[in-house]
């Protein structure tokens, strides 16, 4: 077992000693970070940063591991034209302050997302297509979109619902608004290091523990050691080696597949003279990466190479598409055909990533070098890289990026010639897919959108927009005290915290 440096041991021990005393039935989770406004249901989309908020605020739907949209607070949804949607809410749900869930919660939420503060939120940007929300009855709303969106049901997974009166009061009077939800927990206190929550016994999904503690420990080794020392029960976002230590101590490891699909994006639109303008070069780079070897060495069992930038079940996903095989001979042959018999020199910006991703990306670069593709990695803060991307000035032909695995149409705003980045310079522009994407965006039913986007997916297999890598994943360590964790990773970016028990 690895030994922590003395200073790091002291930090972990001090954190454990400073924790408030709780009853035996407190579930304790360590995370690398939380959203800046922990009590705000409109801030953040993905685990682990939203784990505290996800314990308080239920979403309208959830997406399961097969890509199917499942009822949650919304029990039904439908649209005849893809633009006007009817959503029916459960009629047996109460907020933790005793008020019933009604259509008004969605009306108030939609109105907040159109305010200056709301428009700055992560969730609002994903639901920006909403034009108006109107209550039809106590438990039914009509959602009118600015344009048809056959995939709108997927977006409902991003809409977490606070109690409207409490939310209006909180958002009007606090720099960090703290809302009240329908979930299994309610906030007790929030500090930069620890968020404390108590059981919401009136929830439609009451928890099996009395309290939840979410502790921020940025260092992955520290999170692992906290589980081993009994200071926390779950360490989210740790390495394969860390999980092996937890397993040796009687715990388990759990892979969570995420909706973020990592890939090395080609920035053909930012450099007119780049070799990657040639499709043969783009294909060569894909054949040059040994994905299987990297996964075996660095990732948990179950992770697989991907063949496309959408997840199973997403609009446009093609079942029979195969990932790129590792074929350095073919890569060199393609480079020679493209006029680069001695190979090529390229640079790639890499945003802020954890140690595991860093090692995997370095190995991918090493694989490329063996095929004559000399890739220089330039580490760049993610915020700066995003700014450069939107300015149309990345200055390199590749950069680390991720696709929204279930929201497969969203990325095309920036990489399909739509010009929604700064200076009207999308980083990747394939005019041949433009009309298909436009038709899919305007489709009034999911089957039509799926058929159109499958045509795009098949085209992109032979005309890749980037280096397609592997499924997005993260690995959590679960201590021996935790029980009933069989459905722990049943949903994308959602954990059924109400199910978990502690011994």
**Residues 154 and 96 reside in one and the same domain:** yes
Strands 344-350 and 69-71: unpaired
Q: Which tokens sit at 111?
A: 């109105």
For residues 198 and 308, state if they share a domain.
no
Write the DSSP string, 143-166.
EEESS--TTHHHHGGG-B---HHH
CA 94 distance to own-chain centroid: 28
Residues 457 and 356 in one domain: yes
Residue with tokens 């939609």: 110
Q: Which of 215, 203, 209 is nearest to 31 (CA)?
A: 215
My answer on whether 130 and 209 are in the same domain is: no
Q: Which helix (H) or strand (E) holds 74?
A: strand 74-79
Contact status, residue 340 vs residue 281, Cβ threshold 8 Å: yes
Whichever domain contains 133, its CATH number is 3.90.76.10
- Which residues neighbour 43 within 8 Å (Cβ) at sequence distance 6 or greater? 35, 36, 37, 50, 53, 121, 122, 123
CA distance 378 to 357: 15
CB 51 within 8 A of CB 43: no
Cis peptide before 48 (omega within 30 of 0): yes
- pTM exceeding 0.85: yes
Q: Are 132 and 145 in contact (CB under 8 A)?
A: no
In terms of domains, do 76 and 40 share one? no
- The span from the CA of 124 to the CA of 317, in Å, is 26
**Do 37 and 74 have their domain in common?**
no
For residue 421, give its domain range. 260-471
* Residue-by-residue pLDDT tens, the chain, 503 positions: 454 444 444 444 444 434 444 446 999 999 999 998 999 999 988 899 999 999 999 999 999 988 899 999 999 999 999 999 999 999 999 999 999 999 999 999 999 999 999 998 989 988 999 999 999 999 999 999 999 999 999 999 999 999 999 999 998 876 678 999 999 999 999 999 999 999 999 999 999 999 999 999 999 999 999 999 999 999 999 988 999 999 999 999 999 988 889 999 999 987 778 899 999 999 999 999 999 999 999 998 889 999 999 998 899 999 999 999 999 999 999 999 999 999 999 999 999 887 778 999 999 999 999 999 999 999 999 889 888 888 888 999 999 999 988 888 888 877 888 866 666 788 898 888 999 999 999 999 999 999 999 999 999 999 999 999 998 899 999 999 999 998 888 998 899 999 999 98
- Residues 79 and 155 occupy one common structural domain: yes
Q: Which two structure tokens, joined as six digits, stand for 268? A: 């053909």
Cα–Cα nearest to 149, from 403, 410, 405, 404: 410
CA angle at 358 for the pair 356 and 363, rounded to the nearest 5° = 100
- Which of 120, 149, 178 delimits the end of a domain? 178
């Amino acid at each position: 077992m690895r030994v922590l440096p003395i200073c790091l041991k002291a930090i972990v021990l001090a954190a454990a000693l400073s924790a408030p005393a709780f009853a035996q039935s407190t579930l304790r989770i360590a995370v690398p970070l939380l959203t800046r406004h922990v009590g705000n249901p409109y801030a953040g989309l993905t685990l682990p940063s939203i784990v505290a908020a996800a314990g308080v605020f239920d979403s309208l739907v959830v997406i399961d591991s097969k890509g199917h949209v499942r009822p949650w607070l919304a029990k039904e949804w439908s649209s005849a034209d893809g633009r006007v949607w009817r959503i029916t809410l459960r009629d047996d749900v109460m907020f933790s302050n005793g008020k019933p869930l009604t259509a008004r919660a969605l009306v108030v939420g939609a109105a907040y997302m159109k305010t200056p503060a709301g428009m700055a939120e992560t969730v609002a940007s994903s639901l920006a297509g909403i034009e108006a929300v109107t209550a039809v009855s106590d438990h039914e709303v009509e959602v009118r979109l600015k344009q048809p969106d056959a995939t709108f049901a997927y977006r409902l997974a991003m809409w977490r619902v606070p109690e409207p009166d409490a939310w209006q009061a909180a958002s009007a009077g606090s720099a960090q608004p703290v809302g009240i939800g329908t979930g299994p927990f309610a906030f007790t206190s929030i500090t930069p290091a620890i968020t404390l929550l108590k059981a919401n016994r009136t929830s439609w999904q009451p928890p099996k523990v009395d309290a939840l503690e979410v502790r921020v420990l940025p260092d992955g080794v520290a999170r692992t050691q906290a589980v081993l020392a009994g200071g926390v029960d779950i360490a989210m976002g740790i390495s394969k080696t860390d999980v092996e230590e937890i397993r040796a101590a009687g715990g388990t490891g759990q892979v969570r597949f995420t909706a973020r699909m990592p890939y090395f994006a080609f920035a053909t639109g930012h450099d007119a003279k780049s070799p990657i303008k040639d499709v043969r070069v783009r294909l060569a780079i894909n054949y040059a990466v040994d994905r299987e070897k990297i996964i075996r060495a660095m990732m948990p069992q179950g992770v697989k190479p991907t063949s496309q930038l959408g997840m199973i079940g997403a609009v446009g996903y093609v079942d029979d598409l195969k990932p790129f095989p590792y074929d350095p001979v073919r890569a060199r042959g393609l480079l020679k055909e493209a006029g680069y018999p001695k190979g090529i020199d390229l640079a790639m910006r890499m945003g802020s990533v954890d140690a595991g991703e860093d090692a995997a990306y370095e190995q991918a670069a090493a694989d490329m070098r063996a095929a004559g593709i000399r890739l220089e990695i330039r580490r760049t803060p993610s915020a700066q890289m995003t700014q450069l991307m939107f300015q149309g000035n990345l200055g390199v032909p590749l950069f680390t990026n991720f696709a929204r695995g279930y929201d497969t149409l969203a990325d095309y705003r920036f990489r399909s010639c739509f010009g929604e980045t700064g200076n009207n310079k999308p980083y990747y522009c394939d005019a041949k897919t433009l009309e298909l994407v436009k038709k899919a965006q305007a489709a009034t039913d999911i089957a039509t959108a799926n058929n159109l986007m499958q045509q795009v997916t098949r085209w992109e297999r032979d005309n890749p927009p980037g280096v397609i890598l592997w499924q997005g994943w993260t690995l959590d360590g679960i201590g021996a005290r935790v029980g009933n964790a069989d459905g722990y990773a049943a949903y994308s970016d959602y954990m059924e915290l109400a199910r978990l028990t502690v011994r």
